[in-house]
A and B are shown apart, each in its own frame.
Chain A
Amino acid sequence: QQPVQSPQAVILREGEDAVINCSSSKALYSVHWYRQKHGEAPVFLMILLKGGEQKGHEKISASFNEKKQQSSLYLTASQLSYSGTYFCGTATGANSKLTFGKGITLSVRP
């Protein structure tokens, strides 16, 4: 079953912050975040393993609450380059396949 991503779409102005969520009905081992720009391949952003850790990459960070089986991606002081579709992929075990959500389109306007 696919994880549920919310909100469905995000429109921001440069410099604004955004939060994207990913929820699963299954117990999770890890959550992976990818970004896909129009016409390009998805690109890995980060992975969070169970343990409730938070990770960051420049001004993009994420948290994973394994009890709630959900992860959130935080985009701070958004830049035009952040525009794209954000996918979360979830895994129920260390070597299990990823199940991706439907994706969220994020648009950053000047």
Chain B
Amino acid sequence: DVKVTQSSRYLVKRTGEKVFLECVQDMDHENMFWYRQDPGLGLRLIYFSYDVKMKEKGDIPEGYSVSREKKERFSLILESASTNQTSMYLCASSSQGGETQYFGPGTRLLVL
């Protein structure tokens, strides 16, 4: 079974803190994605990566950056967390040319 794991299920941070959200997949997938999910807005793509050290902006990249130093790991970084970044963050992966995205369980981030 494909497994996508995320470092934390719940996280509480203070405004201005630097926040790291980590995602690891065990299926040797080339593609990895970060989404945020907010009530009434669905899933919105923040950043994605098609290969190691490669990254592409999604629909809402402002306030975020990413890092992909290894194929299996994709990190989402909030340089200076703000209250409007309180959300559920979902990581996903898929194979190159693959059609199915496999999602992790999500990290619910609260920024106070």
Contacts and interface: CB of A to CB of B under 8 A. Distances in A.
Nearest to A103: B42
A100 B101 CA distance: 12
B104 A97 contact: no
A107 interface: no
B42 A100 contact: yes
Interface residues of A, number: 20
Given A41-B90, A41-B106, A47-B100, A98 B45 contact: yes
A101 interface: yes
Interface string A38-49: 001111100100
Contact of B97 (A2, A42, A94, A100): A94
A41 B100 contact: no
Contacts of A98: 45, 101
Interface in B18-63: 33, 35, 40-45, 48, 56, 58-59
B64 interface: no
Which of A30, A97, A101 counts the most B-chain CB atoms under 10 A from its CB? Answer: A97
Contacts of B97: 94-95
B74 interface: no
A26 interface: no
Interface of A: 2, 30, 32, 40-44, 47, 87, 89, 94-95, 97-103
5 contacts: A2-B42, A32-B99, A97-B33, A100-B42, A102-B41
